[in-house]
């Protein structure tokens, strides 16, 4: 199970994945590519389906994410920074060929 904080069902919301209506709220973290940058947004209020674990956002959250993207995910509004390792699949193939 995922460690999500559930606060009850959301009436009238249907899962786009399986059509189920047992939908709860959770705070999720998601990564977005914006031009050449990778940005992470935390504490996104997401709707989570109890049936298939599909995560989706309500209209208001989508608008808010669009606004943030439209602003170019301004660094001065970021709470924190992550260093992320970058891998190339090409390296995997080369390692495979050497052995």
Touching Zn ion, residues 59-98 (CB under 5 A)? none
The whole-angstrom separation of Cα 58 and Cα 36 is 27
Q: Using CB under 5 A, pick the residue from 4, 10, 20, 41 that binds Zn ion.
A: 20
Q: Which is nearer to Zn ion, 52 or 78 (CB)?
A: 52
Is there binding between residue 17 and Zn ion (CB under 5 A)?
A: yes
The whole-angstrom separation of Cα 53 and Cα 22 is 10
Q: How far is the CB of 41 from Zn ion (least distance, A)?
A: 22
Is there binding between residue 24 and Zn ion (CB under 5 A)?
A: no
Angle at 73 between CA 90 and CA 10, to 5 degrees: 100
Across the beta sheet with 37-49, the strand order is: 23-34, 37-49, 55-56
Is there binding between residue 49 and Zn ion (CB under 5 A)?
A: yes
Residues that bind Zn ion (CB under 5 A): 15, 17-18, 20, 49, 51-52, 54
């Amino acid at each position: 199970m995922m460690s999500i904080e559930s606060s009850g069902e959301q009436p009238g919301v249907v899962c786009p994945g399986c059509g189920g209506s047992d939908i709860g709220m959770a705070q999720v973290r998601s990564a977005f590519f914006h031009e050449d940058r990778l940005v992470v947004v935390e504490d996104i209020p997401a709707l989570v389906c109890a049936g298939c674990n599909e995560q989706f956002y309500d209209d208001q959250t989508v608008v808010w994410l669009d606004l943030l993207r439209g602003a170019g995910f301004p660094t001065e509004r970021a709470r924190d920074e992550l260093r992320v390792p970058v891998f190339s699949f090409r390296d995997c193939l080369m390692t495979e060929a050497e052995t």
